C-alpha cells in the first residue's frame, strides 16, 4: 500500500520549505486507526486536535473539510493509519507569528502493521529508558510537533524484540512510553501517571478512564476504579498487571520490563475486549489490506 497525501486538499507529496512546522515544530498531529474503512474515535481525535489548536492559537481546521479529505484517502482501504498534521503555515523567518497566516493541513495514509495485532495477543517486552522527559506544564497533554524527546528516548535501543520504552520525568516519576500511555493494576485499581507536567493525553487512556468512571466495565472488571497519580518506578514494578496503549497499537500487555516478568494479563485482556466492543481500539484480524 503506497502512502498517499492530501496537502491543503491537493494530492501532492511536497510542501513549501518555509512551513513553520518544519522550522519550529509549530503545529499538532493526530494518528488514527482505519478499520473497515471507518476511523476509530474520530470525534475524540478531533477534540484533542482542537484543544491543541486553541492552546497554540492556531486556527481550528474545519471539521467537514478534514472529514471529507480523510474519507477520500481511506475509501478503498479496510485497514491503515491516518496521520493529520496541522501546522501554523508557511511564514517568514522568526518566531513572531505573521497576521493572517493560514494553517497547513497534511493528511497522509500509512499502511497497517500486523505487528500491532500480534503484540496485543502475546504481550510485549519493554525497557526503562534513561532519558527523562522535561516538565513543561503548558505543552503537556497536547500532541504538538516538538517530539525530539520521544525520538531521543526511542533511540536508546535497537533490539527489535523490545516493543516499547518506559520514560520517567526529571523527578523519576513514570510518565508514559515513547509512543504510548501506561497503566498498571493493583487490586481493584487501575493506576495511570499524572500528565499535568509532561506526556500526551492519549485517546485510549481517556477512553479507559471514561469507561471505568462510568462503570462501563463488566464481569471481573465491574468494580475497577481509576487513580491518576505520580507513579514511582518501584510502584510500577510491584503492580499485578501492566499495559501500554495508544490509538494505533490498541493495548499491549507488558510481559517484561528489563528483566522483570509480568505474567498476569487477565484484567488487561478483559479491558482489551471491552475497548474493542466500544470500537475504541483496533480489533485483531489477519486481513491487513
Q: Which residues bind its own copies (CB under 8 A)?
A: 3, 5, 7, 12-19, 21-26, 29, 31, 56-57, 81, 83, 85, 87, 92-97, 106, 108, 110, 131, 134-136, 138-139, 144-155, 170, 178-179
Length of the chain: 289
Q: Which is nearer to its own copies, 87 or 192 (CB)?
A: 87
Q: Which is nearer to its own copies, 179 or 272 (CB)?
A: 179
Chain mean position to CA 194: 16
For 57, the grid coordinates are 492559537
Q: Which is nearer to its own copies, 104 or 255 (CB)?
A: 104
Nearest approach in angstroms of CB 116 to its own copies is 12
Q: Which is nearer to its own copies, 141 or 185 (CB)?
A: 141
Q: Which is nearer to its own copies, 142 or 226 (CB)?
A: 142
Outline where 174-265 has alpha helix (H): 203-213, 233-237
Nearest approach in angstroms of CB 143 to its own copies is 11
CA contacts within 13 A on the Cβ side of 261: 2
For 217, the grid coordinates are 466495565
Separation CA 6–CA 253 (nearest Å): 35
Nearest approach in angstroms of CB 52 to its own copies is 11
Nearest approach in angstroms of CB 177 to its own copies is 10
Nearest approach in angstroms of CB 174 to its own copies is 18
Question: Hunting for cell 474520530 — which residue is that?
Answer: 42
Helices 63-74, 42-56: inter-axial angle, 10-degree rounding: 130
Question: Hunting for cell 495514509 — which residue is that?
Answer: 109
Amino acid at each position: 500500500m503506497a502512502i498517499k497525501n492530501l496537502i491543503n486538499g491537493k494530492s501532492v507529496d511536497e510542501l513549501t520549505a518555509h512551513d513553520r512546522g518544519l522550522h519550529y515544530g509549530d503545529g499538532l498531529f493526530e494518528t488514527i486507526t482505519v478499520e473497515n474503512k471507518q476511523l476509530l474515535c474520530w470525534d475524540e481525535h478531533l477534540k484533542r486536535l482542537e484543544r491543541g489548536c486553541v492552546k497554540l492559537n492556531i486556527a481550528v481546521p474545519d471539521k467537514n473539510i478534514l472529514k471529507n479529505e480523510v474519507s477520500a484517502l481511506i475509501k478503498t482501504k479496510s485497514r491503515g493509519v491516518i496521520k493529520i498534521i496541522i501546522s501554523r503555515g508557511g511564514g517568514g523567518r522568526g518566531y513572531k507569528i505573521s497576521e493572517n497566516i493560514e494553517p497547513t493541513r497534511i493528511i497522509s495514509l500509512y499502511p497497517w502493521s500486523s505487528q500491532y495485532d500480534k503484540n496485543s495477543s502475546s504481550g510485549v517486552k519493554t525497557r526503562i529508558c534513561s532519558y527523562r522527559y522535561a516538565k513543561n506544564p503548558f505543552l503537556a497533554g497536547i500532541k504538538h510537533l516538538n517530539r525530539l524527546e520521544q525520538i531521543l528516548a526511542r533511540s536508546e535501543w535497537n533490539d527489535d524484540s523490545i516493543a516499547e520504552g518506559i520514560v520517567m520525568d526529571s523527578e523519576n516519576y513514570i510518565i508514559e512510553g515513547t509512543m504510548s500511555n501506561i497503566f498498571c493494576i493493583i487490586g481493584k485499581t487501575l493506576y495511570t501517571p499524572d500528565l499535568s507536567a509532561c506526556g500526551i493525553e492519549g485517546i485510549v487512556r481517556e477512553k479507559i478512564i471514561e469507561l471505568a468512571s462510568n462503570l462501563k466495565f463488566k464481569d471481573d472488571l465491574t468494580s475497577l476504579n481509576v487513580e491518576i497519580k505520580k507513579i514511582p518506578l518501584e510502584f510500577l514494578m510491584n503492580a499485578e498487571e501492566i499495559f501500554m496503549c495508544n490509538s494505533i497499537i490498541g493495548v499491549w500487555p507488558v510481559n517484561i520490563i528489563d528483566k522483570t516478568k509480568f505474567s498476569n494479563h487477565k484484567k488487561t485482556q478483559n479491558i482489551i475486549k471491552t475497548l474493542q466492543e466500544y470500537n475504541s481500539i483496533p480489533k485483531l484480524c489477519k486481513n491487513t489490506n
